[in-house]
């Protein structure tokens, strides 16, 4: 009896995978990397890529000085259809690694582009939820992960960074005049459109809180073009799983830098 149930369960899983394969649009996810050799879970990427061939991962190497490039090259050799490498010669920060990676991804004419933290604090399976949201709500331009600790969900965050982050998120919400809970989660997906291209066309002012600048650019662009406000095309999705992974490049003192960058964003975009 158990064997029969197991076979039925496996068949159902296969059917779900087939359906996802048939409807899955071409998607490119940029993975910004700086000295991630010890944290890069290559097995997780390989397993996911084998199940979802329409999702391509572009690793944007931000001038790493460890073995990160060599590890990515080996991944690409294993599956060139699933993985590729884009390298910045010098370390220019996550903002530029993401921006240049996304611009490079646009050359491949995907339907969706996005970026995902290399430590996989947000599991790769969540990408499917983002895509299905985009597919079901055709007006959406942007889906962002939100680290909300709710019952029935596994969201594990460092206490100090969580409370500093909440202060920053509140300030960001005030500056943007947008009811967003979490601007800084490193899991975001965008529908490819002229609007998306324009948002990433020029370098960001901010190095640490460039995510907030993405929101700001979308808000201002839509306002200047007389289009419905940004909140009508952004979906904030509470994550089912998010785990703080050790080895983050963000330190407590960087929150002070982020505060000044937030002020700079406000002056540049909202006080002209």
Distance of alpha carbon 20 from the chain centroid = 20
Mean predicted lDDT score pLDDT of the chain = 89
Tell me what pLDDT residue 167 has: 82
Examine the pLDDT at 21 and tell me if it is beyond 50: no
In this prediction, residues 49-58 reach a mean pLDDT of 96
- Higher pLDDT: 170 or 69? It is 69
Cβ distance 4 to 112 under 8 Å?
A: no
Q: What angle do CA 61, 62, 64 make, to 5 degrees?
A: 85
Considering only 16-20, 65-69, 234-238, which range has the smallest mean pLDDT? Answer: 16-20
Question: What sign does the dihedral 37-43-27-147 (CA atoms) show?
Answer: negative
In this prediction, residues 190-208 reach a mean pLDDT of 96
Task: List for the chain the helix, strand, coil content (%; round to 5).
Answer: 45, 15, 35
Residue 219 CB neighbour total at 10 angstroms: 19
Examine the pLDDT at 22 and tell me if it is beyond 70: no
Cα(86)–Cα(108) distance, integer angstroms: 13
3-class secondary-structure state, position 32: strand
Tell me what pLDDT residue 1 has: 41
- Beta strands of the chain (E only): which ranges? 27-33, 55-62, 83-88, 112-116, 142-146, 154-156, 187-191, 234-238, 241-243
Residues 6+ apart with CB under 8 A from 203: 95, 96, 99
pTM over 0.75: yes
Q: What residues does each domain of the chain span? A: 2-270
Determine the topology of domain 2-270 in CATH.
Spore Coat Polysaccharide Biosynthesis Protein SpsA; Chain A (3.90.550)
Examine the pLDDT at 10 and tell me if it is beyond 50: no
Tell me what pLDDT residue 168 has: 81
CA atoms within a 13 Å half-sphere pointing along the CA-CB vector of 200: 23
Tell me what pLDDT residue 256 has: 84
In the numeric block, which tokens belong to residue 104?
A: 């490079």
Residues 6+ apart with CB under 8 A from 126: 145, 187, 239, 240, 241
Residue pointed to by tokens 């596994």: 154
In this prediction, residues 223-243 reach a mean pLDDT of 96
Cα(28)–Cα(189) distance, integer angstroms: 9
Residue pointed to by tokens 């969540």: 126
In the numeric block, which tokens belong to residue 28?
A: 């490119």
Residue 160 CB neighbour total at 10 angstroms: 10
Cβ distance 217 to 199 under 8 Å?
A: yes
Closest to 155 (Cα-Cα) out of 187, 181, 122: 122
Residue pointed to by tokens 């390989």: 46
DSSP, res 235: E
Examine the pLDDT at 260 and tell me if it is beyond 60: yes
In this prediction, residues 156-171 reach a mean pLDDT of 76
Considering only 23-32, 64-73, 158-167, 261-270, which range has the smallest mean pLDDT? Answer: 158-167
Considering only 25-39, 153-167, 234-248, which range has the smallest mean pLDDT? Answer: 153-167
Cα(104)–Cα(127) distance, integer angstroms: 20
């Amino acid at each position: 009896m158990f064997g029969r149930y197991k076979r039925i369960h496996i068949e159902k899983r296969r059917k779900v995978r087939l359906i996802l394969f048939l409807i899955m649009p071409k998607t490119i996810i940029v993975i910004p990397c700086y000295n991630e050799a010890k944290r890069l879970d290559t097995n997780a990427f390989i397993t996911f890529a084998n199940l979802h061939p329409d999702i391509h991962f572009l690793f944007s190497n931000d001038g790493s000085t460890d073995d990160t490039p060599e590890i990515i090259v080996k991944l690409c050799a294993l599956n060139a259809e699933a993985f590729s490498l884009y390298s910045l010669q010098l370390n220019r920060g996550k903002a530029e690694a993401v921006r240049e990676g996304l611009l490079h991804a646009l050359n491949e004419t995907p339907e969706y582009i996005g970026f995902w933290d290399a430590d996989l604090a947000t599991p790769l399976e969540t990408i499917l939820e983002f895509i299905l949201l985009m597919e079901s709500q055709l007006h959406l331009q942007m889906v962002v992960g939100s680290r909300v600790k709710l019952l029935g969900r596994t969201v594990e965050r460092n206490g100090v960074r969580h409370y500093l982050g909440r202060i920053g998120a509140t300030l960001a919400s005030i500056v943007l005049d947008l009811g967003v809970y979490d601007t800084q989660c490193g899991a975001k997906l965008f529908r490819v459109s002229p609007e998306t291209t324009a948002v990433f066309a020029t370098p960001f002012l901010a190095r640490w809180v460039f995510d907030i600048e993405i929101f700001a650019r979308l808000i201002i662009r839509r306002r200047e073009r007389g289009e419905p406000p940004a909140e009508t095309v952004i979906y904030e999705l509470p994550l089912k799983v998010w785990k703080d992974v050790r080895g983050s490049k963000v330190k407590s003192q960087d929150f002070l830098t982020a505060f000044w960058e937030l002020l700079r964003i406000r002056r540049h975009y909202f006080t002209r």
